[in-house]
Amino acid sequence: MAEIKKAIIPIAGLGTRFLPLSKVVPKELWPLIDKPVLQYIVEEAKNSGISEIIFVINSQKKFVLDYFRESPQLKKILKERKRNHLLVELRNLENICREISFSSVFQKKPLGDGQAILEAESKVKGENVGVLFADDVVDSKIPCLAQLLKVFKTCQKPILALYRIPKEKLPFYGIVEVEKIANRIYKIKKIVEKPKSEEAPSDLAIVGKYILTSEVFDELKKARPGKRGELILAEVLDKMLKDGKIIYGYEIEGKWLECGNKLDWLKSHFYLSLKHPEYGQKIKEMYERSN
């Protein structure tokens, strides 16, 4: 039973919800406290035992990968100026990246998340793989992907990360119909995209974190784009369910911090800022003084 060592991180989206700033700064590089959203995702992958990350990018996001490369010239300047505290920050990032190999594939047009994942197939080479979308950070003791990997060791089937959400939010997410089989573990029966609150099959929403098997890639290759001309992962997974294939869901432990639009990003930024060991108390004091 081979361990999963590869993860796909799709970042080829246009980031239209973050316009106009996303014209020049990819949303994946927007900061949560003092590091970009994408670094949280890479750290989650590394802390889950991943050693190879495959970015799916577009032609405008080539430079995103530069963030994870060493900067010898910058380090030289900082040494000359005796900015040791800044050198420590750079070295911390380098340590995160040291045991991970990074590569990338291009998605020429934004043709859906399923198409983005399929672009990475040549680098996955038939192996089981983790998929982590950069809109979704999970604040947890055990990395979210590691939670999914633990379940995968037993079931050896595709796994979706799930999270309970309030009734009023159900129409904005992919919601699953499930059969509970163990603590936090479910057999997925159906995926419903953005149902009306009263028609939702449960309150469990799909988080953008998955374990995918070669079987899913086979189905992605056979699938045709939907009404919008896009290949959507959730639609392909739902078809697999209708065909009698087995897919599991795991209700993740931790707090789901969304970063897919400006308001969610601001909420996540504020939440983590208040928890920060260095800045949190100062921010609380500043807020209290202003009131």
Burial pattern 235-269, b for ≥16 Cβ within 10 A else e, equals bbbbebbeeebebbbbbbeeebbbbbeeeebeebb
Q: Does 258 score more than 90 pLDDT?
A: yes
Segment among 27-41, 59-73, 91-105, 230-244 with least mean pLDDT: 59-73
How many percent of the chain have pLDDT more than 90?
Answer: 71
CATH class as words, domain 6-290: alpha beta
Helix (H, G, I), strand (E, B) or coil at 221: helix
Q: Is the pLDDT of residue 228 over 90?
A: no
Looking at residue 213, its pLDDT comes to 95
Helices 84-98 + 72-80 axis angle, to 10: 160
Contact assessment for residue 17 and residue 261, using Cβ atoms and an 8 Å cutoff: yes
Contact 173, 135 (CB under 8 A): no
From residue 65, give the alpha-carbon distance in Å to each of 55, 60, 117: 8, 11, 18
β-pairing verdict for 35-36 and 52-57: unpaired
Listed by start position, the domains of the chain span 6-290
Q: Residue 68's closest CA among 30, 101, 22? A: 101
Mean pLDDT of 16-27: 88
Per-residue pLDDT at 1 exceeds 80: no
pLDDT over 90 (residue 25): no
Q: Determine the residue type at 195.
A: P
Q: Any idea what DSSP says for residue 195?
A: -
> C-alpha 244: how far from its chain's center?
27
Cα distances from 144 to residues 43, 44, 100, 229, in angstroms, run 11, 7, 18, 31
* pLDDT recorded at residue 133: 96
Position 180 scores a pLDDT of 96
- 198 falls in which pLDDT band (50, 70, 90)? very high
Mean pLDDT of 206-229: 92
CA atoms within 13 Å, Cβ hemisphere of 136: 23
Q: What are phi and psi of 43, to 5 degrees?
A: -65, -40
Judged against a pLDDT cut of 90, whether residue 23 lies above it is answered with: no
